[in-house]
Amino acid sequence: MAARVRFRRSAYSAVVKGKVASSGTLGLLVSLAAWFERMARTHDRGRRQRPRRVLSQRFERTRSRAMPQNRRRQNDPTARRIGVDWGTTHVRAWLLGAGGRVLDVRRDDRGMGRIAGDEAAFGAVYDTLVADWPDVPALACGMVGARQGWIEAPYVEVPTALIGLASRAVTVTSPKGRRLAILPGICQREPADVMRGEETKLVGLALEAPDVASSGFALLPGTHSKHAALEEGCVVHFRSVPTGELFDVLGQHSLLRFSLERDGAYDAIAFDDAVLEGATLRAGELTAALFNLRARSLLEAFSPAAARGRLSGLLIGAELALLDRERPIALVGSGGMIEPISRAFRVLGRPAPRVFDGDALVRRALAHLAALLEGADI
């Protein structure tokens, strides 16, 4: 076991210390081979240990929920890392123990969007979030590293090794002297595309399902859905589809605002029909279908819940039609997104994707990458 740990650390450290460029070097090939081999081993171990992992996850969830938010953990000897997911609309911080176990969690709604460009505000929010936690190695991902974030962590270009992202982290120091490493996003030149935050979920996915990372496809539905092709631990290509944003913007600001159910309830039959339709539409037909939806609510007994189901189905059907039918897909998401997407797969007669919890993947990735950065045991 000791030998295996040493092997893993040396394989990683080659990547972490920046010996691996984003493409084309011998170093890359060597490290990728080591990384791939390691993933295969983790995969076997993961299979044997799956029942235990599921149990421990349940235990962690209970524990996290039961934990009083204001309990001071400044001297908690079990705390190992701090992981931060700082997006546009909110920020979450986890205090993590050995193996990425969640010891405590904090949340704030001062996402990057609210304090864009205000370095002092980022520092103050961070110091408040982690005030009563021990000063252990901390790593953040998401929009906090955008140009309008705390500090810019420039994009890494595809193709890029997922585990190599840690070596591109940029470090800030808070007003109270806390150091926080911030992960970069990933970009693609042709066609132009960017992601910030989702790449960390992909790192978690690579740790959780090495077979997917070696040759697979990840679908991360959301405001800006990401479709990522993975090969040998690298993101080789990706595409963003702003399905969630379109749904929100159309539902709130277009003529459809008068037709849509507000409380989120949707009619499953209308959804199913629309998924099939959306998957076959041309671009202009989708635009026309939006007006048709308004007209149906004027002319027919088309309920607001049916309208909501139909809009959601049209957009999701159109999005899923972009996916390669032959490739097995890992679906990475949280809460409410999983059910309609899984349903849409069934409606389209496609094999059910393997489902992974996005939040769990982020925590796992942050714990792992923070350890790499510090050169400590993982």
* Residues lying near a copy of itself in the complex (CB under 8 A): 155, 187-189, 191-194, 224, 239-243, 245-246, 249-250, 252-255, 278, 281-288, 290-292, 295-296, 298-300, 314-315, 317-322
**Residue 264 structure tokens:** 């989120």
Q: Toward a copy of itself, which CB reaches closer, 105 or 116?
A: 116
Closest to 100 measured CA to CA, from 371, 376, 373: 371
Least distance to a copy of itself, CB of residue 234, Å: 20
Closest to 203 measured CA to CA, from 55, 13, 38, 361: 361
Q: Toward a copy of itself, which CB reaches closer, 50 or 327?
A: 327
Q: Toward a copy of itself, which CB reaches closer, 191 or 336?
A: 191
In DSSP notation, 17-48 reads TT-S-SSS-HHHHHHHHHHHHHHHHHHHHHHH
Q: Toward a copy of itself, which CB reaches closer, 191 or 335?
A: 191
Q: Toward a copy of itself, which CB reaches closer, 185 or 216?
A: 185
Least distance to a copy of itself, CB of residue 91, Å: 20
**88: three-class secondary structure by DSSP:** coil
**CB under 8 Å to 72, separation ≥6 — which residues?**
132
Residues in a beta bridge with 161: 234
Tell me phi and psi for residue 166, to 5 degrees. -60, -35
Measure the CA–CA gap between 349 and 55, rounded to whole angstroms.
32
Least distance to a copy of itself, CB of residue 163, Å: 24
**Residue 108 structure tokens:** 């704030």
Closest to 161 measured CA to CA, from 108, 199, 105: 199
Least distance to a copy of itself, CB of residue 20, Å: 22
Least distance to a copy of itself, CB of residue 315, Å: 7
Least distance to a copy of itself, CB of residue 278, Å: 6
Q: Toward a copy of itself, which CB reaches closer, 234 or 241?
A: 241
DSSP 155: P
Q: Toward a copy of itself, which CB reaches closer, 62 or 287?
A: 287
Q: CA 229, 240, 31 angle in degrees (round to 5)?
A: 35
Least distance to a copy of itself, CB of residue 116, Å: 11
Measure the CA–CA gap between 129 and 122, rounded to whole angstroms.
11
